[in-house]
Structure 1
Amino acid sequence: MDLGLTGKVAIVTGSARGLGAATARRLAQEGAKVVITDINAELAQATAKALQAEGLAAHCIVGDITKAADVQRLVDDTVAHFGGVHVLVNNAGAPRDRYLVKMSEDDWDLVMNVMLKGAFLATRAVMPRYIEQGWGRVINISSRAHLGNPTQANYSAAKAGLIGMAKALSLEEGRYGVTVNCVAPGFMETEMIQALPTYETIKEKAIAAQPVKRAGRPEDVADAVAFLASERASFISGEVLHVTGGRYG
Structure 2
Amino acid sequence: MSAALITGGARGIGAAIALRLARDGFDIGLVDLAREACDPVAAEIEALGVRAHAAAADVSDLPACEAAVAEIAEALGAPTVLVNNAGLMREGTLRRSTVEDWRAAIDVNLAGAWNMSKAAQQGMRDAGTGRIVNLTSTGALGETGLSAYSAAKAGLHGLTKSLAVELGRFGITVNAVAPGLTLTPMIDGMSDRIGEGVDEMERTALAGIPMGRLGTPEDIAHAVSFFCDARSDFVSGQILYVTGGPKC
Same fold (TM over 0.5): yes
Question: How far apart, in 2, do the equivalents of 1:200 and 1:56 lie?
Answer: 38
Residue aligning to 2:65: 71
Residue aligning to 1:43: 37
What SS does structure 2 have at the residue aligned with 1:12?
strand
Listed one character per residue, the Cα deviations across residues 42-90 of structure 1 (whole Å, up to 9, x for unaligned) are 3222322232244442211111111112111111111110122100001
1:147 aligns with 2:147: no
For structure 1, list consecutive stretches of 5 or more residues without a partner in the other structure. Answer: 1-6
Change (3 A) 1:189 1:71: same
Residue aligning to 1:204: 203
Q: How far did 1:165 drift?
A: 0.3
Residue aligning to 1:248: 247
1:130 aligns with 2:129: no
Residue aligning to 2:157: 163
For structure 2, list consecutive stretches of 5 or more residues without a partner in the other structure. Answer: none
1:172 aligns with 2:166: yes
1:235 aligns with 2:234: yes
Residue aligning to 1:20: 14
Question: How far apart, in 1, do the equivalents of 2:34 and 2:243 lie?
Answer: 28
Q: How far did 1:231 drift?
A: 1.0
Checking the alignment, whether the CA contact within 8 Å between 1:44 and 1:62 is kept in structure 2 is no
What SS does structure 2 have at the residue aligned with 1:209?
coil
Q: With structure 2 as the length reference, what TM-score do the two structures score?
A: 0.94
Q: How far did 1:8 drift?
A: 1.7
Question: How far apart, in 2, do the equivalents of 1:239 and 1:225 lie?
Answer: 12
Question: How far apart, in 2, do the equivalents of 1:127 and 1:60 lie?
Answer: 19
Residue aligning to 1:4: none
Amino acid at match of 1:16: A
Q: How many residues align?
A: 243
Question: How far apart, in 2, do the equivalents of 1:133 and 1:122 lie?
Answer: 17
Question: How far apart, in 2, do the equivalents of 1:118 and 1:192 lie?
Answer: 18
1:90 aligns with 2:84: yes
Question: How far apart, in 2, do the equivalents of 1:209 and 1:240 lie?
Answer: 20
Checking the alignment, whether the CA contact within 8 Å between 1:209 and 1:247 is kept in structure 2 is no
Runs of 4+ in 1 over 4 A off after TM superposition: none
What SS does structure 2 have at the residue aligned with 1:102?
coil
- What do you get for the CA RMSD once the two structures are aligned? 1.3
Written as runs of structure 1 = structure 2, the 5 A alignment for 1:101-112 is 101-112=95-106
Residue aligning to 2:219: 220
What SS does structure 2 have at the residue aligned with 1:138?
strand
